[in-house]
Chain A
């Protein structure tokens, strides 16, 4: 894996041939102006369906390993 990553990163060095300090970056190729929607409440997916593919569930939520190490 390491030699493969080296080969890929080595190839990317070709970008150093270019001076692009005055070129603006393109994060979005096609600009979508005013893409925000109205802030209105719409229907969302039913909880049971969203939980259907959960590896573990409990009390209507996703059951996950303990996150905080507290004893109460």
Chain B
């Protein structure tokens, strides 16, 4: 049973499709593995045992009735708990949404179900996806499967930890400024942040609407590519989703890299942990050896990304989170009048980091600071985007570390928000520019913690990420399996 739950997405889908194993057996094995391992990790906020078994039984009947080919047949997938699941509680790891039962599925959840996937449960995160360590969850942090005293990263910490320890065959997360890539790096899994507009945000509870994207986390690139192919594409319910054909991402696996131009930024890892610096240098060497031309490029405005991000994202968050007022869903704490009811509901419903960001966002949008902070940040964002446009004239993909350090200890950065925000310095710029990026496991630090290589590509060139990421995965031969896997 345990063997079954460690199979890859593509192996499981093939086994279920060919009826070598039933969807019910796969689902039971996944549920058993969660029961066995998740008490220590706390990746799941909710395991939908009944829903998963019912969906598996239905799929088995469908498969018994005739020839059906579904790309994710019987594959157990965990979903970050800021994605709406019809009839299944969705909390954003916030007290303010405790008890909320969405009346609809997010677009990506609909797509997964239609592809035969079994939604196994809802995964822990930083409250409203705001954080880099999962410590902002109102229901307690996730622990990193590689070292339980450390953070799995954030905000998709539950998604990364669950994928890493095979508590699901693969998972979905969301990424606003690095929230699938940084935890992907910390937990040793492959995590793709698609181009803004590649995947519909319908049913993703909004944090920063000009940055949010849903992305897959998996134990290998082929699995991540398959999930991306299923969730990508135009959806009329998200006006920012783009109507462009979805290429066969999986077909990129196994392709040669010869002749590709790979961009690197001189000195980009200066100031990073020594292990990160070393892993990046080795990755560049290995990719060059596959016949790529290494091209030095410059991203002069990347250093402003942190300031731009925390102005833009917080401004959008302060506006988006205004909807949580205790009137239509979620927590209501009744006060003496309407105003007091709003105040009490929000004061008790939101955690400290969410409040901090709402206040900052409100401040940068206020009359006296709009031009000096918000509008200025949006102008600098243009410079960051132009840096990439220039760089991609000279290269096809660009390599950076995913994070400046391996996973840090739980509690280590709680007292210093700026130190926490610094973990995202490499993942923020692609988010601001809207371009796709992937974190691919690229080695272990001396203390045995996974490290990630970030590969970035021009908008809508996710296929290049798959091609380079999978070739690197193959040549490095590195299969990151946490202790107890």
User: Are these two chains actual partners, yes or no?
Assistant: yes
Interface of A is mostly: loop
Residues of A near B310 (CB, < 8 A) are 8, 12
Flag the segment in B10-18, B147-155, B257-265, B301-309 that touches A.
Answer: B301-309
Q: Shortest beta-carbon distance, A40 to chain B, in Å?
A: 11
Residues of B near A4 (CB, < 8 A) are 356, 417
Chain B stretch 386-414: residues in CB contact (< 8 A) with chain A: none
Q: Shortest beta-carbon distance, A55 to chain B, in Å?
A: 4
Q: Is the CB of A25 within 8 A of B240?
A: no
Select the residue from A11, A32, A55 with max chain B CB neighbours within 10 A: A55
Q: Is B320 engaged at the interface, CB distance under 8 Å to the other chain?
A: no
Q: Is B99 engaged at the interface, CB distance under 8 Å to the other chain?
A: yes
30 A/B residue pairs, CB under 8 Å, sorted by A: A4-B417, A7-B417, A8-B417, A11-B306, A11-B418, A12-B310, A15-B308, A18-B304, A18-B383, A20-B376, A20-B379, A20-B382, A20-B383, A23-B380, A23-B382, A25-B375, A26-B385, A27-B378, A30-B242, A35-B239, A45-B104, A53-B102, A54-B329, A55-B326, A55-B330, A55-B331, A55-B332, A65-B338, A66-B338, A67-B338
Q: Is the CB of B378 within 8 A of A52?
A: no
Give the residue of A14, A25, A37, A53 whose beta carbon is less than 8 angstroms from that of B330: A53
With contacts A15-B307, A15-B308 taken as known, whether A8 is within 8 angstroms of B104 at the C-beta atoms is no
Q: Is A64 engaged at the interface, CB distance under 8 Å to the other chain?
A: yes
Q: Is the CB of A29 within 8 A of B433?
A: yes
Give the residue of A8, A11, A37, A56 whose beta carbon is less than 8 angstroms from that of B332: A56
Smallest Cβ-Cβ distance to B345: which chain A residue:
A55
Smallest Cβ-Cβ distance to A32: which chain B residue:
B240
Number of interface residues of A (CB under 8 A): 38
Q: Shortest beta-carbon distance, B166 to chain A, in Å?
A: 33
Give the residue of A24, A52, A53 whose beta carbon is less than 8 angstroms from that of B379: A24
Q: Is B146 engaged at the interface, CB distance under 8 Å to the other chain?
A: no
Q: Is A50 engaged at the interface, CB distance under 8 Å to the other chain?
A: yes
Chain B positions near chain A (C-beta within 8 angstroms) = 99-104, 195-197, 210-211, 236, 239-242, 301, 304, 306-308, 310-311, 326-332, 334, 337-338, 341, 352, 355-356, 359-360, 363, 373, 375-383, 385, 417-418, 421, 432-435, 459
CA distance A49 to B326 in the complex (A): 17
Q: Is the CB of A24 within 8 A of B382?
A: yes
Q: Is the CB of A29 within 8 A of B434?
A: yes
Residues of A near B378 (CB, < 8 A) are 25-27
Give the residue of A1, A28, A49, A67 whose beta carbon is less than 8 angstroms from that of B352: A1
Smallest Cβ-Cβ distance to B373: which chain A residue:
A12
CA distance A36 to B237 in the complex (A): 10
Give the residue of A32, A45, A52, A64 whose beta carbon is less than 8 angstroms from that of B338: A64
With contacts A23-B379, A29-B434 taken as known, whether A52 is within 8 angstroms of B308 at the C-beta atoms is no
Residues of A near B239 (CB, < 8 A) are 32, 35-37
Q: Is the CB of A1 within 8 A of B382?
A: no
With contacts A8-B417, A64-B338 taken as known, whether A32 is within 8 angstroms of B197 at the C-beta atoms is yes
Q: Is the CB of A25 within 8 A of B329?
A: no
Q: Is the CB of A53 within 8 A of B210?
A: no
CA distance A10 to B39 in the complex (A): 41
Give the residue of B102, B195, B308, B359 whose beta carbon is less than 8 angstroms from that of A5: B359
Residues of A near B330 (CB, < 8 A) are 53, 55
CA distance A33 to B195 in the complex (A): 16
Q: Shortest beta-carbon distance, B314 to chain A, in Å?
A: 9
Q: Shortest beta-carbon distance, A31 to chain B, in Å?
A: 9
